[in-house]
Amino acid sequence: MNKLLVSPSPHIHADVSTRSLMRDVVIALMPALLVSVVFYGWKELLVIGVSVASCVLLEYLITRFMLKKPSTIGDFSAVVTGILLALNLPATTPWWVVLIGAVFAIGVAKMTFGGLGQNVFNPAIAGRVFLLVSFPTYMTHWEMPQGLFGADAVTGATPLGQVKEGLLQGSTLSQILDVDYLQMLLTNIGGSAGELSAVALLAGFIYLLCRRVIKPHITLSIWVTVALVSLVFWLVNPERFTDPLFNLLTGGMILGSCFMATDYVTSPMSVMGGIVYGIGIGFITLMIRYFGSYPEGMSFAILIMNAVVPLLNRAFHQKKYGRA
């Protein structure tokens, strides 16, 4: 007879692991990846490939040779970081810039804090912001979607970039913008791969919700905040401030609110904390968009709120049974 196995209860485990959760996130990001490859062509494929490969390789090298621990790449978290980083970069980014972003994301933002679960800031966003500050030319060089087999690339500005530029030159919004919301929802917004198609991202988000990988409260809280705050500004001066729908559909709003702000590690544990966190992200994003010098503020907003998370965890707790 075998030796009896003895352990404290419970003796069974739910069919869920870090690996299965991360795999679901990768699956959820697939539609957005596909759309971006179809529209931006092989350049985007190169960015994604370099980003994912360097993130995974770096995590492997750091865990095995610097920390001398078993490798943690099997949990797919490095793959998720790689994909998110790629979706945050323009398709024209040179491979070595992507590599530097990956080094910062995994090497500095994740592993120096102790690896998965210990990092304060979302690694992919930290990587993106590092590149944005260090290589602004590459990071703001957008190419209009041309398709996988498209003709020569045409460079252009993102809608948010157009707005910022136009307002600085003293134009009014109605002179600058001529946007088709349906098109914005489907595809064809100039910008990074992840800003391309709101529908593809939302499909992934709904998949995550159905699989109960994430809860919707943070995302909803961001959307509601953005919608309400921009509504107020827009009503006050529609020629100076963009409208709610525009703000919800442009830039990194969908990618950020669905996939980056909801990152387990860097978001608050309690529902109430998550809502406050979402309000903060939505508000800061809009303030940067309206008054800041950068056209887009989603990444900065998430990073700033990441830093507040420990305080939110302290302030907000679960509702306990039998305690007021």
Q: Which of 271, 253, 173 is nearest to 215 (CA)?
A: 271
Query: Does 118 participate in binding other proteins (rule CB under 8 A)?
Result: yes
Question: b/e map of 268-281 (b: 16 or more CB within 10 Å)?
Answer: bebeebbbbbbbbb
Query: Does 4 participate in binding other proteins (rule CB under 8 A)?
Result: yes
CB of 105 to other proteins, least distance (A): 17
CB of 272 to other proteins, least distance (A): 12
Single-letter amino acid, residue 127: G
Three-state DSSP class for 118?
A: coil
Q: Is 191 left (phi over 0), alpha (psi -120 to 50) or beta?
A: left
Q: Between residues 22 and 193, which has the closer beta carbon with respect to other proteins?
A: 22
Tokens 């309206």 belong to: 290
Query: Does 197 participate in binding other proteins (rule CB under 8 A)?
Result: no
Separation between Cα atoms, residue 239 and residue 173, nearest integer Å: 5
CB of 116 to other proteins, least distance (A): 5
Query: Does 68 participate in binding other proteins (rule CB under 8 A)?
Result: no
Q: Between residues 115 and 244, which has the closer beta carbon with respect to other proteins?
A: 115
Contact (Cβ atoms closer than 8 angstroms) between residue 289 and residue 160: yes
Between helix 42-61 and helix 18-40 the angle, nearest 10°, is 150
Tokens of 147: 């398709």
Whether residue 123 is preceded by a cis peptide bond, meaning omega within 30 degrees of 0, is no
Q: How many residues bind other proteins (CB under 8 A)?
A: 39
Contact (Cβ atoms closer than 8 angstroms) between residue 79 and residue 52: yes
Q: Between residues 17 and 175, which has the closer beta carbon with respect to other proteins?
A: 17
By CB under 8 A, name the one of 25, 28, 33, 75 that touches other proteins.
75
By CB under 8 A, name the one of 155, 183, 188, 318 that touches other proteins.
318
Tokens of 62: 């750091």
By CB under 8 A, name the one of 30, 135, 270, 292 that touches other proteins.
270
- Pattern 18-57, other proteins, x by CB under 8 A: x-xx------------------------------------
Separation between Cα atoms, residue 220 and residue 10, nearest integer Å: 35
- Pattern 235-264, other proteins, x by CB under 8 A: -----------------------------x
Pick the stretch among 9-17, 124-132, 184-192, 219-227 that binds other proteins (CB under 8 A). Answer: 9-17
Three-state DSSP class for 222?
A: helix
Pick the stretch among 53-61, 176-184, 299-307, 316-324 that binds other proteins (CB under 8 A). Answer: 316-324
- Footprint of other proteins (CB under 8 A): 1-14, 16-18, 20-21, 72, 75, 77, 114-118, 264-265, 267, 269-270, 317-323
